A and B are shown apart, each in its own frame.
Chain A
Amino acid sequence: EIVLTQSPGTLSLSPGERATLSCRASQSVSSSYLAWYQQKPGQAPRLLIYGASSRATGIPDRFSGSGSGTDFTLTISRLEPEDFAVYYCQQYGSSPGLTFGGGTKVEIK
């Protein structure tokens, strides 16, 4: 099973700042089958990025993903008030053992 480790656990930033979230895999993620989700309190997760760098439908271009192999990054170029949430990475290439990272909370400083 591929273990995903997200860092930092919490990111305290102000609106307008740049957020950089990391996701490290215990082994290479095949074909960059790496996704990022956003979850707000009381809501289901929402798909942001898939294939490590492709934005899902309707996702603003301030969200971008990069990386390959074992190291991946989600960048939010300028934080909007609605971006403060918890973010999870997920690898979906090694079915049946799909896994999520532990999450990074982006909070208002």
Chain B
Amino acid sequence: EVQLVESGGGLVQPGRSLRLSCAASGFTFDDYAMHWVRQAPGKGLEWVSGISWNSGSIGYADSVKGRFTISRDNAKNSLYLQMNSLRAEDTALYYCAKEMTTTVGPFDYWGQGTLVTVSS
């Protein structure tokens, strides 16, 4: 059974940093690209960042470019999101998601999310 479990969220002051983790199991982690998607309270889905299976291709939404860094450790079946210079508008539930295929695909499995609240 595929499982994605996010952790690392919490309350943080503006300008500070936070590192999110996603532990994956139930599939061959290093075969698939992985992504972070966020959802602000009461709002829609926003793609944040994605990373290819071998970390060779990485992308970011304009809203987080230069502040967030995605990475993965295939030996540990884990995905990470380093978030620096956090702003109030980064407050959201952050989901980890797996691509459906080993090439280009939608997201077939999602975690339950970890909540990040940026507030003084």
Contacts and interface: CB of A to CB of B under 8 A. Distances in A.
Chain B interface size, as a band, is 20 to 34
Given A44-B112, A100-B45, A95 B105 contact: no
B50 A96 contact: yes
A108 interface: no
Given A1-B62, A88-B45, A96-B60, A44 B105 contact: no
Nearest 3 pairs between A and B by C-beta? Answer: A96-B59, A35-B106, A44-B110
A33 B104 contact: yes
Contacts, number: 67
28 contacts: A1-B62, A33-B106, A35-B107, A37-B107, A39-B45, A44-B110, A44-B112, A44-B113, A45-B95, A46-B110, A50-B105, A56-B100, A56-B108, A88-B44, A88-B45, A90-B47, A90-B106, A92-B105, A93-B104, A95-B104, A96-B50, A96-B58, A96-B59, A97-B61, A98-B59, A100-B45, A102-B44, A103-B45
B113 to A, nearest CB: 7
Nearest to B106: A35
Interface in B12-70: 35, 37, 44-47, 50, 57-62
Contacts of A11: none
Interface residues of A, number: 26
Interface of A: 1, 33, 35, 37, 39, 44-47, 50, 56-57, 86, 88, 90, 92-93, 95-103
A55 to B, nearest CB: 12
A33 B35 CA distance: 16
Interface of B: 35, 37, 44-47, 50, 57-62, 95, 99-100, 104-108, 110-113
